[in-house]
Amino acid sequence: MKIVYCENAKMNHYEIRLVTHPKNIKLAKLLVSQFKETIGEVELYDEYKNKYPVSLLTVYYFEIVDHKIYAYTENDVFRLYGTTMAKLKETVEPM
């Protein structure tokens, strides 16, 4: 099997595209799950304090406002509880 890496400056820098032949769908899905597992996830909370495990792949950026940490995804804003910016940095930095 041939694997090709190429860069595209016109793409959104928040995405990685995996293009595959229909016969390789299982392998492509396995690669996506491996990416998600390797990158990890964080526990985020909505405004009603409902907890959601969210993949770091879906978080656009983090923001600190009045000593509170917020995570922004494409459609939502979540809050992080029980962590510091230093701990969050350790979680995110291996990326």
Q: What is the pLDDT of residues 19-78, one digit of tens each?
A: 899 999 999 899 888 877 777 788 899 889 899 888 888 888 999 999 899 999 999 999
pTM of the predicted model as reported, rounded to 2 decimal places: 0.61
- What's 27's DSSP letter? H
SS3 of 91, please? helix
Q: What is the pLDDT of residues 37-46, one digit of tens each?
A: 777 788 899 8
Backbone angles phi, psi at 28, to 5 degrees: -65, -45
Q: DSSP secondary structure string, 32-63?
A: HHHHHHHH-EEEEE-TT--EEEEEGGG--EEE
